[in-house]
Amino acid sequence: MSPPVKLIGFFGSPYAHRAEAALCLKGVPYELMLEDLFNAKSELLLKLNPIHKKVPVLIHGDRAISESLVIAEYVDETFEGPPLLPSDPYDRAMARFWAHFIENKFIKPFFMAHWLEEGEVREAFVKEAKELLPLLEEQLKGKRFFGGDAPGYLDIAASMLAPTRMAVQEVTGVALINDDDYPALSQWAREYISNEALKPCMPDKDQLLAYFMKNKEMYKAGVKAMLQK
């Protein structure tokens, strides 16, 4: 029998959501341990992820695993249930390629465009995000999910464009992803947040909205600080 699964997460973290989504899609029961990152990080988090000191951390028996996409692959390889990655090596490579694209090329300009104040710097990020968005839109061509008929690894990697993005969009008033410009991405996000298998781990819409509304200034200050680094 598999040892119990626990997840150190944080409400509002799209990275923690990725790990939860992987567990949900595989049908793995888990105990969610929520951090209070605005106060002190827990000793457990610091002990289990001493390098990055970040959520999510998956605890499986005496094993601890960090990094959301590493967790997703671990969950896929360890537990029964529908596969998260495609079975063909080339399709797997494409899923990993696009996950890498989202992680290393897309996220920064996209969210900078949402949180930065008006100005030249923001405009440059908006321009960059708009150049990249069609590439993601294209990946959904003729498909309900990036993974095909059901959400998979790449949907997990992209998931911050669903619940998180929708809440951030409402709070900031920036709507880069909209039905006119990116109908496939818009429809995908609606499918993602209402997917039956993902329901147990989908953050409550109103609660997520309240979270970003409350912490708006912190996020704005955060992106500014990132630019000065």
Interface ranges with a second copy (CB under 8 A): 51-52, 60, 63, 65-67, 70-71, 73-74, 77-78, 89-90, 92-94, 96-97, 100-101, 104-105, 135
CB atoms closer than 10 angstroms to residue 81: 15
Residue 80 CB, shortest distance to a second copy, in Å, is 13
* Identity of the residue, 89 or 173, whose beta carbon is nearer to a second copy in the bound complex: 89
How far is it, in rounded angstroms, from Cα 214 to Cα 206?
12
Residue 96 CB, shortest distance to a second copy, in Å, is 5
How far is it, in rounded angstroms, from Cα 23 to Cα 6?
10
Structure tokens at 97: 């390629």
Sign of CA dihedral 34, 37, 38, 39: positive
Residue 130 CB, shortest distance to a second copy, in Å, is 15
Closest C-alpha among 51, 52, 59 to residue 75: 59
* Identity of the residue, 59 or 166, whose beta carbon is nearer to a second copy in the bound complex: 59
* Identity of the residue, 55 or 65, whose beta carbon is nearer to a second copy in the bound complex: 65
* Identity of the residue, 54 or 114, whose beta carbon is nearer to a second copy in the bound complex: 54
Give strand pairing partners of 59: 6, 64
Residue 109 CB, shortest distance to a second copy, in Å, is 12
